[in-house]
Amino acid sequence: MSEIGFIGLGRMGARMAARLIDAGHTLIVYDVDAKVAVPLIARGAKRAAMPTAVADAAELVLASLPSPAIVRNVALAVANGSKVKTFIDLSTTGPRVAVEIAKALAAKNIAALDAPVSGGVRGAEQGTLSVMVSGPRAAFDTTEPVLKLFGRLFFMGEKPGLGQTMKLVNNILGACAIAITGEGMAMGIKAGLDPKLMIDVLNVSTGRNGATQDKWPRAVLPRTFDAGFATALSLKDTRLCLEEAAAMGIPMTVGKAVREILEAANDTYGPDSDFTIMAKLIEERAGLDLPIKKQGRDT
């Protein structure tokens, strides 16, 4: 494939872009923060001055951006590019924005795929993400070899926004798992149970979930709280899921409770904290005073 455009070089985007370079692709990159492009420029990527310039230079443009509003603005800028034929949004925007983008780009004869990813920073780095794609099948078939570099692909259907809906469902379930596991663990610890033994039991019992199998062994029990997904992003996705559910007439009582916990975690520990910090918040609400480990020290 000729040069590929990549817009958005944050924690996820930079790592996905690096995988494209590893595979031998030449990249045209853009980010509002020019310095984050420096490591990719050093590896042969070319810097563009604006999103439209990326779309002037590449037939395929991918984006990994932090909010639906930013994705919308970038997509509309890309639509004015002279060379772009396919735009792939790897961000989490929700189905309504995906439909809006697909319609706007189709008017310019540009195919749009929404392809949100799950798996965190580690998955982006190792190419083990799950990629949930929807949009024109022909565009998916053409770009499949590129998307495969990021991980396992799931084609959700041709209707715009199906990938986004799947991603929102995944992310709210992931946040719910952390919240409810945090509550159960706090109860057990306060009663005198050993937390590691609790996780061992849960993981061979009906209470096991993604939090008990991955987040607790990797980030909560070691007290590092560094699973790789920012609290602010989890809160954004949860709010977005609830908004989309409300628009569809679907009640999400549990989801609303998790949003409250995420809001409190975001306020207490800051937007850049890891979303596993919900467990620490729940511990404190339960009257537990367990440490957080930072740079080899307990605090």
Sequential DSSP letters for 198-232: HHHHHTTSTT--HIIIIIIIIIITTT---SS-BHH
> What pLDDT sits at residue 237?
95
Q: What is the mean pLDDT of residues 55-77?
A: 96
Residues identified as active-site:
167
Q: What is the mean pLDDT of the chain?
A: 95
Contacts of 58 (CB under 8 A, 6+ apart): 2, 3, 4, 5, 28, 83, 84
Helix (H, G, I), strand (E, B) or coil at 73: helix
Beta-strand (E) ranges in 43-177? 46-47, 60-63, 86-89, 111-114, 117-118, 129-134, 151-157
> What pLDDT sits at residue 97?
96
Report the C-alpha gap between 134 and 210 in whole angstroms: 25
What separation in angstroms does the CA of 75 have from each of 12, 48, 163? 18, 15, 17
Contacts of 279 (CB under 8 A, 6+ apart): 178, 181, 182, 185, 186, 216, 220, 225
Q: What is the pLDDT of residues 103-142, one digit of tens each?
A: 999 999 999 999 999 998 999 999 999 999 999 999 999 9
> What pLDDT sits at residue 1?
52
Domains and CATH numbers, the chain: 4-158 (3.40.50.720), 165-298 (1.10.1040.10)
Q: What is the mean pLDDT of residues 219-229?
A: 95
What separation in angstroms does the CA of 194 have from each of 69, 150, 181, 256, 283? 45, 38, 15, 30, 14
Q: What is the mean pLDDT of residues 61-86?
A: 96
What's the pTM value of the predicted model, to 2 decimals? 0.92
